[in-house]
Structure 1
Amino acid sequence: MSLDVHQIRWRSSYLEIDYSSRDGGVPWLYCVGRRQFVPFEIVGLESGVRRARLNLVLGDGREVLPGGQWIICEKIKESALFSLQALYAEYPLMPQRVDYDVRHLLPPELRDDDEAVAQYTDEERLELVARHPYVTSGVTYDDEVLERLDNLDRVFRYGKNSYAYTGVFVPKTNRAGLIYLALHMQFFQRNKTPRHCQRSRRQMQKDVFAATYSVMTKLVPRKRNRILFLKENGEGPTENMEALQSRMIERGMDKRFDIRARYRNVFAGRQNIVAWLRDLFEIARSRYVFIDDYTPVFNFIDPGEDVTLTQIWHAGVGFKSVGYARFGLKGSPDPYNSAHRRYTYALVGNEHLRRIYSEVFGIEEEALLATGMPRLDHFLDEKVEKEYREEMADKFPWSAKGRVIVFAPTFRGTGQRTAYYPYDEIDMDRLYRMCVETDTYFVFEMHHFIRKRPDISAEYADRIFDLSDESLTKLFFIADVLVTDYSSCFYDYLLLKKPVVFFVPDKTAYSLIRGVQRSIDEMAPGVVCDTFDEFLDVLRTRHYETVSPHPSSIDRAAERSGLASDRAIDTIIYGKDVPGVRKQASGKGGAVPVRQSDKSAKSERKAKELLDSKVADKDTKSASDEEE
């Protein structure tokens, strides 16, 4: 079955889809949560293109289409549901969906256990499909449709503008990596105090955390000399944290300051309330707090004006959108109470990155300190390079026998809990043959969020390795080529003046769903491969050697002075005006950011919100009076 969608449009309350089909297929809307199909009315035929339309006002009898996620799909033929063999013959990509569904019926600890998966019979697998008899793999979309998705959102206001019924098209990928569209229909009620989500469980949690922290700050005196390194998405320090803390000790700061560290992973299952209270207590006692990456506790509390909270962001600027750069997409931060808004400062590699990270963190450019990355202070030291090379050569003797390719992609998904990589894009057999033919060793170094590692069978184990638990920085020194995708890790590698290859077979899907800040085709400092065939050819022929990165790519990498840690310490801890670190304001000295605490800004916000609500109420009443 195949259905090609050429255009999607709204006409008043009608949703219209122009499509063509080679086998008479028609589009449907299907809601998984309701297990309900809604048909389109098929009208018109011109040059082989049909039009399907649905009046949302009559989407459920004499009511509007119910709220929920409605997938544009085809209905599975009843004849294909008599046997698993018939189903797979009719829909060749269905086995991947069935395997995914079976695994997610198992307890989390058994989802990677093939023996447990094999216990499900053909009848049970067929029943899983019959429960939701829709398929998206046969529906494709013209590029123009996907490029215009942002213009297809629809808002239907009613009830004197106090309520809204909204439709938003959300791109997704199925288990085969193919794009499909879901229409999210939702009902909203006007909130006069948008900073406070009424009747929300999460808002209740925030209120409890904030109240608890407020009590702690009053009962527990803050230690003016305490420095805290806090991480909530892993059990150990990042390289940036390690470098900055080591430099503090080298400078003897541990004699004047109480330097503490707290590392834990809040995404690893249910969290004990005692652990959260310990986080709050440590913050309440600290004058300076350094974090690296997303730290959820600051979604709930404002540390206060007497705390300097610094984000020592570990990454350079890759291609994927993060933070507020993906505002409105699934997993994007809250417009008001996001941890990113709490930062007093954030470190960036150089002054060119201020504008980008101002968008990412949703903070003013003056709060971004161009110190460089602490973890790169000794990156180019000959002594360090020699030490890392020898360490890796001792652990992996094969690294000196041929070309070494390190594959370090970023994750797919919205965050740590949903992170994955589509290994189906890689043909291990062909990859291995290329390695043998070209005397190459291929290393997987997967993002630490990705729990499922590549499946490397014994027959490939002499040429293909999973070294995800090793330091990527150390692997750089034995790598002859780096392969990545939307990650920023290539910036460090460029400093070694080695080639980078970008393997992006899901480029369109990734840019639609996750979002990208910059076009990889226009900005990537190396060969961009859209298919596995192209990727293998580039590696086999060493075509990457003919592509030199643009000088601007090197300029955007971290500075080479080796003083990033000292710049951060002197600026943040000692309050010095280090040249080049702060953004210059009006040509006079360095501008210092002002971060209002919740308490100090509360009265101002409340007054403004009350004023806005009164004006809005007046406008609404006037408009409704005119309509009546």
Structure 2
Amino acid sequence: MLLESIKIRDINPSLIYGDIKNKTRKPGLIYRIFRSIVFQLLYYLFHVFPVNPRRILFASDSRVEIGGNLKFVYEEMVNRKIDYDYKFMFKENSFVKKTVIEIVKLAYYCATSKSILIEENYPMISPLKIRKKADLIQLWHGAGAFKKFGYSRLGQPGGPKVNSKDHRNYTKAVVSTKNVATHYAESFDIEKDRIYPLGIPRTDIFFDEEYKEQKRQELYEKYPFLKDRKVILFAPTFRGRGRKEAHYPIEYLDFEKLYNNLKDEYVFLFKLHFIILNKVTIPYQYSDFFYDFTDYREVNDLLLIADILITDYSSICFEFSLLDKPMLFFAYDVEEYISKRGFYYEYQSFIPGNLVKTTNELVEKIVNKDFAEEKIKPFRDYFFDDLDGKASQRVVDLILLGREISIPVLDNVNSIKGISRDY
């Protein structure tokens, strides 16, 4: 049973840490009207123009430039010299105001692009009715299925409202395996035949030996201290109900104990979730052991030089399993988190590593090399249909070019048939 005080409310971290990353000042009424009502009117007005069958829009409200799955799909097309009209609309996050020109351009590109590619929720696009000859394609940023999200959380704190329009207009969504298709269909509230188990494009790097070696050398050259000792990567998810409350309670880690027990063999890298408001303050006496890599955006590159991953409820465990390296799950608040958030699978039997709740347990597992590595392979095999590094190729061929390829197709009773379909 979870007992919670009704007298002392959680403090909004943005009140403590200020506007470190998110420009959270509430926009004015005129801007809100233009961003919503006028934007949608412009979108439908631009229907007077035909859909350009060779135009693709890459859009994100959490990046200043292309990255993640969007980048891998784009580079796949460029490397194959596919001559399309590529458009890009990126913003640091959804709290940063768009200019009038940016809003008009977004409406025009959404109305006239054959394919709109996103990799997270995009509230401005969610209310739009996608044209018959066009696609809104969700290349979700996380692999597998871990903690519940979207409409799987209806009725829970932080979950969507029943009449929300988020996610529901996707015409196609790409996932890592047929085994999670039902969860994603529920989370997005879309039909299961819109779910395509083609693999996660950004995981292609884990099968590219040349890229992995090149990226390791780049990191070692830029950060020489990574070469001398083994690397522990600490990459937890955030706490709080969204961007304005996202934080991580660093005080649950005992810096002194970690330093005294692990400093001779390891370095410890922090890679906090990019929306977390508070920053890591590393005591000067431990600065040769702890390093803050939170601002290094592409976490998958850091996985290549990590010897041990420490996470909690983050989907990063799926990508790391492709490297067949040990993980620990530092989940000091697992009971509370499960009661508030919920998971698609029973947490403790699901995770591909040992659960620890204190720094003492964390140190003990690392020192004794007790990682339960036998859990990694079955975990990896269940959450990835294809271990070939060709996810980007499949997305381009099937989703964007409409070419016929052989994939597992989901029918109405959630069975799998190995057939070819021309989409």
Band the TM-score falls in, shorter-chain normalisation? 0.7 to 0.9
- Equivalent residue, structure 2, for 1:242: 71
Which residue matches 2:278?
Answer: 452
Give CA deviations for 1:492-522 in whole Å, capped at 9, x if unaligned.
2111111010000011222222333222211
Equivalents in 1 of 2:373, 2:64: separation in Å? 39
Partner SS, residue 156 of structure 2: coil
**What are the residue-to-residue correspondences of 1:375-386 with 2, within 5 Å?**
375-386=202-213
Q: What is the aligned-residue RMSD (CA, Å)?
A: 3.1
Q: 1:313 to 1:422 in 2, by over 3 A?
A: same
How far 1:324 sits from its partner (Å)? 1.3
In the alignment, is the contact (CA less than 8 A) between 1:440 and 1:463 conserved in 2? yes
Structure 2: gaps of 5 or more residues:
23-31
- 1:213 matched to which residue of 2? 43
The one-letter code matched in structure 1 to 2:402 is G
Pair 1:265-2:102 in alignment: no
Q: Deviations for 1:427-474, whole angstroms, at most 9, x for unmatched residues?
A: 2222222223x5221110111111322111221110010012223222
Shift of 1:484: 0.6
Q: What aligned pairs does 1:233-312 form with structure 2 within 5 A after superposition? A: 233-254=62-83, 257-312=84-139
Q: How does 1:595-606 map to 2 (within 5 A)?
A: none
- Amino acid in structure 2 at the alignment position of 1:241: L
Contact 2:405 2:421 in 1 (8 A): no
Contact 2:140 2:175 in 1 (8 A): yes
1:104 aligns with 2:38: no
The 8 Å contact of residues 192 and 412 in structure 2, kept in 1 or not, is answered as no
Rate the CA distance shift 1:588–1:347 in 2: closer, same or farther, 3 A. Answer: closer
Equivalent residue for 2:400, pick from 573, 596, 605: 573
Q: Identify which range, 317-326 or 482-491, moves more after superposition.
A: 317-326
| Structure (1 or 2) with the greater strand fraction | 1
Contact 1:240 1:314 in 2 (8 A): yes
Name the aligned partner's letter for residue 566 of structure 1. Q
Determine helix, strand or coil for the equivalent of 1:429.
Answer: helix
SS of structure 2 residue aligned to 1:249: helix
* TM-score normalised by structure 2 residue count: 0.87
Aligned to 2:389, which of 556, 562, 573? Answer: 562
Match in the other structure for 1:442: 268
Show structure 1 runs of 5+ residues with no match. Answer: 1-5, 9-69, 75-93, 112-201, 594-628
Instruction: Tell me the equivalent position of 1:145.
Output: none
User: Is 1:225–2:40 an aligned residue pair?
Assistant: no
Shift of 1:294: 1.1
Equivalence for 2:28: none
**Aligned-partner Cα distance in 2 for 1:300–1:422:** 36
The Cα shift of 1:265 comes to 3.2
Q: 3-state SS of the aligned residue for 2:51? A: coil
Tell me the SS of whatever aligns to 2:332.
Answer: coil
Is 1:424–2:335 an aligned residue pair?
no
Give the match for residue 316 of structure 2.
489
Q: Is the 8 A contact 2:179 2:383 kept in 1?
A: no
Q: What is the correspondence of 1:58-73 to structure 2 with a 5 Å cutoff?
A: 72-73=6-7
Deviations 1:40-79 (A, max 9, x none): xxxxxxxxxxxxxxxxxxxxxxxxxxxxxx96349xxxxx
Distance 1:106 1:456 in 2: 16
Distance 1:326 1:316 in 2: 18
Alignment match, 2:29: none
Q: Give yes or no for the alignment of 1:464 onto 2:294.
A: no
Deviation at 1:531, TM superposition (A): 2.4
Q: Distance in 2 between matches of 1:7 and 1:418?
A: 21
CA distance in 2, matches of 1:287, 1:418: 37
More moved, 574-583 vs 238-247: 574-583
For each residue in 1:350-398, what CA deviation from the matched residue of structure 2 results, as whole angstroms up to 9, or x when unmatched? Answer: 2222122112211122111111111122322221221122112212222
Distance 2:295 2:20 in 1: 20
Of 165, 187, 191, the match for 1:360: 187
Residue number in structure 1 paired with 2:25: none
CA drift at 1:566: 1.7
Of structures 1 and 2, the one scoring higher in RCO (CA 8 A, sep 6+) is 2
CA distance in 2, matches of 1:213, 1:7: 47
The higher radius of gyration belongs to 1
Between 1:577-586 and 1:548-557, the stretch displaced more is 577-586
Name the CA distance, whole Å, in 1 between partners of 2:17 and 2:295: 27
Over 3 Å counting, the alpha-carbon distance change for 1:305 and 1:553 in structure 2 is: same
Provide the secondary structure at the position in 2 that maps to 1:542: coil
Kept in 1, the 8 Å contact 2:52–2:114? The answer is yes
Q: Give aligned-pair identity as a percent.
A: 27
Map of 2:26 onto structure 1:
none
Number of aligned residue pairs: 410
1:413 CA displacement: 2.1
Instruction: Within 5 Å, give how 1:116-195 maps onto structure 2.
Output: none
Question: How far does residue 206 in structure 1 lie from its aligned partner after superposition?
Answer: 5.2
Task: Report the 3-state secondary structure (helix = DSSP H, G, I; strand = E; otherwise coil) of the residue aligned with 1:483.
Answer: strand
Distance 1:513 1:275, change over 3 A: farther
Query: Is 2:322 aligned against 1:475?
Result: no
Deviation at 1:270, TM superposition (A): 4.5
Over 3 Å counting, the alpha-carbon distance change for 1:332 and 1:110 in structure 2 is closer
2:82 maps to a residue whose letter is M
Amino acid at match of 1:349: S
Change (3 A) 1:382 1:547: closer
Q: Distance in 1 between matches of 2:405 and 2:13?
A: 58
**Which whole-Å CA distance do the structure 1 matches of 2:303 and 2:344 have between them?**
25
1:519 is matched with 346
SS across alignment from 2:205: coil
After TM superposition, the score normalised by the length of structure 1 is 0.60
Q: 1:71 to 1:399 in 2, by over 3 A?
A: closer
In structure 2, relative to structure 1, the CA distance for the partners of 1:266 and 1:300 (3 Å cut) is farther
Deviation of the 1:592 alpha carbon: 8.8
SS of structure 1 residue aligned to 2:116 = strand
